[in-house]
Structure 1
Amino acid sequence: MKFFLIIFIFIPLTEMVLLFGVADRIGGLITLGLVVLTAVIGLAILKRQGLSTIMRANQRLQSGELPAQEIIEGMLLAGAGALLLTPGFITDTLGFVLLTGPLRRPIAQHIIGMNVVSTLGPMGGGNSFSFRSSSNGPHTAHSGKIYEGQYSEEEQALSGGESNKNHSKDQLP
């Protein structure tokens, strides 16, 4: 928690000092133009990289593989877009690093290697779903023996407008 607090205070202050320093050297309008230019160029590259990542994910899905690499890269691209839209040279530099495929792919591999990727699956009864981390090893939905069977609902015939209230021990009400 303290780490994020430091980042949210340190990065904006550093960005402001850097922007004011650059503005003193080359002028305020040129500095503003550079910030806008890096955002426009970055978003154009982001669009192309995003489409490429989506196409690769579709190809992996078509071949029956899980596109984990592409999913993580897509999340990194979204982060790059947010960094590029944030005014400043430090955030733009970080955004361009995440946009660069040869630099982004090892970062995605590292994240996958850390087993940070979570799985979505049923937990408990009903329709409730929750995330569980895969960092503790593989998780299985069932423990013990698995029995195959079939289930069907059948309505009981009503005799004389009354329901059949006499059930045997083996029948469920």
Structure 2
Amino acid sequence: MWLFLLFVGVPVLEIALFLQVGGWLGMWPTLGIVILTAAVGTVLVRSQGLAQLAKLQNSFQEMRDPTETLAHGAMVLASGLLLLTPGFFTDGVGFALLVPGVRSVILRYVRSKVRIQSFQYGAQTAPRAEDDIIDLTADAEPRDRPSGWTKPD
């Protein structure tokens, strides 16, 4: 039900804001603001996205947990989508997601609602005796001819 309200409520809110701002400023300044926020948002999203990508690469090189960096990167991506969507409400939410403090608060909230049951990072461990192991190559017949994917000699 909340998804339905989101898909109906946000466009209705955007239309109401367009009517209010358009009535107050006029059509051309309103359209100028929409285009300006999209351009500024694109520049900011690009710079923050590249910064998050660099942090992600560092976390992989240093073998650190990349979860937080990935979450921030996903929020920066969502911010870019919201800033490119015409509207004042979506621009406000998009610019808010560009603030690292806001992203951290959202991440803390999501962490409080999510329970991780298992996490494995790094090299895989050897299979335990109770694990089911299916060896598909043991009974395979050797092929005398090349597959259809390779060129014949």
TM-score category (smaller protein): 0.7 to 0.9
Show the counterpart of 2:149.
Answer: none
1:101 equivalent to 2:100? Answer yes
The one of 113, 117, 133 aligned to 1:137: 117
1:162 is aligned to: none
Contact 1:80 1:94 in 2 (8 A): yes
Please name the residue that 2:66 is paired with.
67
Secondary structure at the counterpart of residue 57 of structure 2: helix
Aligned to 2:124: none
Deviating above 6 A after TM superposition, structure 1's stretches of 4 or more consecutive aligned residues are none
TM-score normalized by structure 1? 0.67
* Greater per-residue helix proportion: 2
CA contact (8 A) 1:69 1:112 kept: no
Provide Cα deviations, 1:104-151, integer angstroms capped at 9, x if missing partner: 123223323433xxxxxxxxxxxxxxxxxxx362379xxxx924xxx9
Alpha-carbon distance in structure 1 between the residues aligned to 2:116 and 2:82: 32
Cα distance 1:154–1:11, how it changes in 2: closer, same or farther (>3 A)?
closer
Task: Mark the runs of 5 or more structure 1 residues left unpaired by the alignment.
Answer: 116-134, 156-173
**Equivalents in 2 of 1:113, 1:92: separation in Å?**
27
Q: Which has the larger radius of gyration?
A: 1
Which structure dedicates a bigger proportion of its chain to strand? 1
Aligned-pair Cα RMSD in Å: 2.5
Looking at structure 2, the residues matched to 38 and 136 of structure 1 have their Cα atoms a distance apart, in angstroms, of 38
Identity over aligned residues, as a percent?
A: 28
What residue is the counterpart of 2:111 in the other structure?
112
